[in-house]
Structure 1
């Protein structure tokens, strides 16, 4: 098979790339990267010395692609599926890119700051940084709520790269800092995301690893429990 995605099933940015692949039914193989295993880590670092996941390897075209947005754009260009995840209209594409970056930078990044601080060694915590990250999430939640007031998906009627970014970002952010009940558009949008077949598939694969999440006790039971 031409495409291999190097990933970890619990990593939110890996979820973003997986959603894109599942949305269009793109054939690929997955390779779980265990950076705690010296041999596995060395092998992955040979492929991508920066050491961050996910990474897409395309043997047919001899390309190695990091960074989730680049991966999704590459798939759209060279392995198009049922629907483009980057709109064809230039203005709509720009808007999708904007909200893709918004969810990455103003939801995923501050969420990760809060999560990582919980597992820092004693005495090396960053309470000021966590407070700042929480404030960024508060602002982001309000902006997302306003953005989704009149549309089903992040930028309109079509599911795009922005929604691929939004789903895992909001899933984990909502655990560490729950959405305000007053943000009904955000809450409804999140419910549409978690009902999306591509994201349900991602969550099913992540479920066995939820015990590794530093805020595991805060994960809502509906996501932890398997359906009979």
Structure 2
């Protein structure tokens, strides 16, 4: 039975999993969640109705990081996204949490606020989110000073997270030129074939971005 992925091309968390699949050229059936029928199928698998969701031989796997861990365990390929060494793996997982919690979460807060009716918007919360992103960019700039990828020499789970989250974060709260290492890292991620493919697949959906898409990328 083939892998089946419930996902949407424009979703950052779905792109995170797509990168992992593309890195190892894993075949899968893509169920794009863009209709009531597809959403009903998703809800039957995962009542919280959040994607991506992977179905593998009847087993439902949820949450992007866990899906990538599952793929490495059950469908390993030439690109190892979580190091075999436990100490190195811990660093990769720590960075994965950094990108999820301190880049993606505030970025999405800015976007979701824009989707609300104007009377229900939260300017204070958006200011807090922008401050959080500035702090995250600052820390990451120092971290990436002498690194090619987030955990060092090898592309990993952490980079699967960084790619879409920094991509959309720069649209929502531009990465200032003083964070030159972060900007350079983002460009390296955009040139990675697995992420470049995910970006191209999402292009038709750019009008959905509520803040307006910058004239780049």
Q: Tell me the TM-score range normalised by the shorter chain.
A: over 0.9
CA contact (8 A) 2:32 2:38 kept: no
Instruction: Give the equivalent residue in structure 1 for 2:42.
Output: 44
Distance 1:126 1:15 in 2: 28
Once the two structures are TM-superposed, the CA of residue 48 in structure 1 deviates from its matched residue by 1.0
Once the two structures are TM-superposed, the CA of residue 39 in structure 1 deviates from its matched residue by 3.2
Distance 1:172 1:183 in 2: 16
Instruction: Give the equivalent residue in structure 1 for 2:199.
Output: 203
Distance 2:215 2:95 in 1: 26
Q: Residue 196 of structure 2 aligns to a residue in which SS?
A: helix
Distance 2:26 2:16 in 1: 14
Once the two structures are TM-superposed, the CA of residue 199 in structure 1 deviates from its matched residue by 0.5
Q: Residue 64 of structure 1 aligns to a residue in which SS?
A: strand
Instruction: Give the equivalent residue in structure 1 for 2:175.
Output: 179
Q: Residue 153 of structure 1 aligns to a residue in which SS?
A: coil
Instruction: Give the equivalent residue in structure 2 for 1:5.
Output: 5
Query: Normalising to structure 1: TM-score of the pair?
Result: 0.93
RMSD: 1.0
Once the two structures are TM-superposed, the CA of residue 4 in structure 1 deviates from its matched residue by 0.7
Once the two structures are TM-superposed, the CA of residue 80 in structure 1 deviates from its matched residue by 0.4
Q: Residue 149 of structure 1 aligns to a residue in which SS?
A: coil
Instruction: Give the equivalent residue in structure 1 for 2:161.
Output: 165
Once the two structures are TM-superposed, the CA of residue 83 in structure 1 deviates from its matched residue by 1.8
Which consecutive unaligned segments of at least 5 residues does structure 1 have? 224-228
Find the partner of 2:152 among 149, 152, 156. Answer: 156
Distance 2:110 2:154 in 1: 31
Once the two structures are TM-superposed, the CA of residue 84 in structure 1 deviates from its matched residue by 0.9
Q: Please state if 1:73 is matched with 2:63.
A: no
CA deviation profile, 1:95-149 (whole Å, cap 9, x unmatched): 0000001001100010000001111012000111111111110000011111101
Query: Normalising to structure 2: TM-score of the pair?
Result: 0.97
Distance 2:68 2:214 in 1: 28
